[in-house]
Amino acid sequence: MPKVLISDSMSNVAQKIFEKNNISVDVKTGLTEEEIIKIIPEYDGMVVRSATKVTKNIIEAAINLKVIGRAGAGVDNIDVLTAKKKNMIVMNTPGGNANATAEHAFALIMSVLRKIPFANETTHKGQWEKKNIKGVELSKKTLGIVGFGNVGVRLSNLVKGFDMKILVNSKSLESRKSEYPHVENSSFDDLVSKCDILSFHCKAAADGNPMLTKEHMKKMKPTSYIINAARGNIVDENDLNDALNEGLIAGAAVDVFSKEPSKENVLFNNPKAVLTPHVAASTVEASIIVAEMVANQISDFLLKDIKVNTV
Ligand code: MLT
């Protein structure tokens, strides 16, 4: 009987699927690297979200491991290169949390444009800041979407009806343009200079270098907003903080940080920044979908050698 370790907390749907498929499953969360190294030789499969860092040391100790499944999209917490060298399959669940992430990006946009967090906090305190709260509308504005995968596409569909122009920067859009008549393919520089809202939905660069730095921010409209619900290192946080303080842009809303969990960050306490703790994908619905997807995919691989959503 194959054996799987679930090392991050996730919907118990995953555990139930493994049990139904006669796959032995242990749920052990919050383990250190050393603790995982000790037990990993027992397992044929491993399931993680983002908390477990599947390091080179873990993979090298995993003498029986055949598959690592990520309940989510990003695999930046897994040393994919070492896993591949060891002939392990790495799978993710693309699309499983795309709607959740796109809806959160939209919520961030509305929050920062309408100053909802400030309005909420001050109203609770009885401060009645009505005179100091003036929002900005979406109508007639230009939204720039960087990356047009599952999340970018979903966000573009969500804003239909808000009377916005949508510019997209994506290498793959040209070949599938006819499917998306509501967006225009543009260069990254065009997005930077023309957008009122610039929202990131792409992978981080492999070398870890930020895609958006102060040089770009200097070219943005002073009334514009940056939204990052993708990965923390895509937008340089120090530059973003400076750009907010120097009035190069009007505001930012950020769900992802260069270091997570983020206990301190240069953006903390910047009144022009709306911040959430990497929860874009954390909805009741998405957590069930990604748990189901990853458990079914791993079961199919271990029992029938079917490979789906390999990275
Ligand atoms: C993902 O990569 O799927 C999202 O960032 C959410 C998560 O970390 O699970």
For residue 82, what pLDDT is reported?
98
For residue 100, what pLDDT is reported?
98
For residue 77, what pLDDT is reported?
95
For residue 85, what pLDDT is reported?
97
Q: How far apart are CA 213 and CA 232, in angstroms?
A: 13
For residue 89, what pLDDT is reported?
98
Integer angstrom CA distances of residue 254 from 102, 243, 249, 305: 13, 14, 14, 40
Distance of alpha carbon 103 from the chain centroid:
12
For residue 97, what pLDDT is reported?
98
Q: Is the same domain home to 91 and 102?
A: no
Active-site residue, selected from the candidate residues 49, 154, 216, 231: 231
8 A C-beta contact, residue 25 and residue 3: yes
Q: What distance in angstroms lies between residue 266's CA and the mean position of ligand 1's atoms? A: 22
For residue 185, what pLDDT is reported?
97
For residue 173, what pLDDT is reported?
95
Residue nearest to atom 8 of ligand 1 (CA): 50
Q: Is the same domain home to 289 and 268?
A: no
How many domains, in total, are found in the chain?
2
Q: Is the same domain home to 177 and 260?
A: yes
Q: Respond yes or no: is residue 231 known to be catalytic.
A: yes
For residue 139, what pLDDT is reported?
98
For residue 79, what pLDDT is reported?
97
- Report if residue 242 sits inside a domain: yes
Q: Is the same domain home to 113 and 174?
A: yes
For residue 202, what pLDDT is reported?
97
User: What lines the ligand 1 site, CB under 6 Å?
Assistant: 49-50, 72-74, 97, 281
Backbone angles phi, psi at 268, to 5 degrees: -60, 135
pLDDT tens figures, 277-307: 999 999 999 999 999 999 999 999 999 999 9
Q: Respond yes or no: is residue 237 known to be catalytic.
A: no
Q: Is the same domain home to 85 and 139?
A: no
For residue 78, what pLDDT is reported?
98
* Nearest atom (ligand 1) to Cα of 75: 2
For residue 74, what pLDDT is reported?
95
CATH number at residue 219: 3.40.50.720
Residue with tokens 């490979």: 307
- Report if residue 309 sits inside a domain: no
For residue 290, what pLDDT is reported?
98
Q: 138: closest CA among 104, 185, 167, 106?
A: 106
For residue 47, what pLDDT is reported?
98
Q: How far apart are CA 272 and CA 241, in angstroms?
A: 9
Q: Respond yes or no: is residue 124 known to be catalytic.
A: no
Regions of the chain where pLDDT drops below 70: none
Structural domain of residue 111, as residue ranges? 98-275
Spell out where the chain has E strands.
3-6, 24-27, 45-48, 67-70, 89-91, 142-146, 165-169, 184-185, 197-200, 225-228, 251-254, 273-275
Q: Is the same domain home to 169 and 213?
A: yes
- H-run or E-run covering 192: helix 188-194
